[in-house]
Amino acid sequence: MNWHDETQDQLLTIEQARQQTEKQLQVSEERYRLLAENASDVIWTMSLDGRITYISPSVERLRGFTQEEAMQQTLEEIQTPESQAITLAYFSRMAGRLQAGLPPEYARYEQEYRCKDGSTIWCDVHVLPVHTADGATVEILGVSRDITAVKRAESEAKRSEERLRKMLQHLPVAVAVANLQADQRILYRNTAFDQIFGWTPQEIPTHEAWFVRAYPEEDYRRTVLNKWNVAIAQAAAQQGHVTPHEFRVTSRNGQVKDIVIGGTILDDQLICSFVDISERKRFVAELVQARDAAETANRALQQANAELQRLAVTDRLTGVWNRAYFEEAVAAERTHAVRYDMPLSLLMLDLDHFKVINDTYGHLVGDRILIELTRLIGQHLRTVDILVRWGGEEFALLMPHCGATEALHAADRLRVIIANHSFPEVGAVTVSVGVAEFQPQESVHAWIKRADDALYQAKSGGRNRVCRCDPEN
Strands in 72-133 per DSSP E: 107-114, 120-131
Q: Which of 49-53, 70-74, 186-190, 359-363 has the lowest mean pLDDT?
A: 49-53
CATH number of the domain that 136 lies in?
3.30.450.20
Please report whether residue 281 resides in a domain. Answer: no
Tally of domains within the chain: 3
pLDDT given at position 129: 87
Please report whether residue 330 resides in a domain. Answer: yes
pLDDT confidence band for 28 (50 / 70 / 90): very low
Residue type, 95: A
| CA nearest to 121, candidates 195, 61, 205, 210 | 61
Asked if 63 and 116 count as a contact pair (C-beta separation under 8 A), the reply is: yes
Tens digits of residue pLDDT in 54-107: 999 999 999 999 999 999 999 899 999 999 999 999 888 888 888 888 877 888
pLDDT given at position 145: 93
**Rg, C-alpha atoms of the chain:** 58
pLDDT given at position 13: 61
Same domain, 323 and 428: yes
Please report whether residue 7 resides in a domain. Answer: no
Same domain, 137 and 175: no
The whole-angstrom separation of Cα 273 and Cα 244 is 9
Residues taking part in catalysis: 393
Same domain, 51 and 178: no
Range of the structural domain that residue 391 is part of: 314-468
**Which residues make Cβ contacts (< 8 Å) with residue 396, sequence separation at least 6?**
326, 346, 347, 348, 349, 387, 388, 390, 448, 451
Q: What percent of the chain has pLDDT over 90?
A: 57
Q: What is the per-residue burial (b if ≥16 Cβ within 10 Å, else e) of 62-92?
A: bbbbeeeebeebeeeebbeeebbebbeebbe
pLDDT given at position 115: 95
Please list the residues that pair with 179 across neighbouring strands.
Answer: 269
Please report whether residue 438 resides in a domain. Answer: yes
The whole-angstrom separation of Cα 113 and Cα 75 is 10
Please report whether residue 283 resides in a domain. Answer: no
Asked if 369 and 351 count as a contact pair (C-beta separation under 8 A), the reply is: yes
**Which residues make Cβ contacts (< 8 Å) with residue 82, sequence separation at least 6?**
112
Same domain, 250 and 136: no
The whole-angstrom separation of Cα 225 and Cα 261 is 12
Neighbours of 299 (CB within 10 A): 10
CATH number of the domain that 420 lies in?
3.30.70.270
Strands in 301-384 per DSSP E: 344-351
Answering whether pTM is above 0.75, one says no
| CA nearest to 391, candidates 445, 464, 322 | 322
